[in-house]
Structure 1
């Protein structure tokens, strides 16, 4: 999870907690109704968080896959470059051996 995603999740949870606290303080309803609202809000928050985490997981897996693919291509480029340089060195060495 990126730092940005982590900050977003922290902000979301903090905002929900502050909103719930203010709702309880200023609620004109009875305690039972307030508890039901909190429970409902918690379930909505839980559902939203699960969706965000699932999205973050998919993004992370995609980024990881792209990184592995890019590294594989770069590795092949480096190997090809080193093979060329090795062939050049062998050729220079053969000339010096004569």
Structure 2
């Protein structure tokens, strides 16, 4: 519970600092909002890209494991059927 409170405090402090920074920014509000929107879009694109890469990687690993398990299953079935022609 202590770590949760610390994390909450850090996030609250960061949000408060960002709000104060925006309020006292030296640029016009329209420029600041545009920059915030641009950065948000950039972060969102990066996050989506990383998520897609992770999903592709996991899918590839899943297919690889599935292929290996099928091969092992076929070998075990052949052993159970008494087929001695299989080379290991």
Larger radius of gyration: 1
Unaligned 5+ segments in structure 2 are: 1-10, 83-88
Q: How many residue pairs were aligned?
A: 68
Q: How does 1:6-25 map to 2 (within 5 A)?
A: 22-25=17-20
Higher relative contact order (CA 8 A, sep 6+): 1
Distance (whole Å) between structure 2 residues aligned to residue 26 and residue 42 of structure 1 = 16
Q: How does 1:67-86 map to 2 (within 5 A)?
A: 67-84=65-82
**Higher helix residue share:** 1
Unaligned 5+ segments in structure 1 are: 1-14, 85-98
TM-score (norm 2): 0.61
TM-score (norm 1): 0.56
The runs of at least 4 aligned residues of structure 1 exceeding 3 Å deviation read 18-24
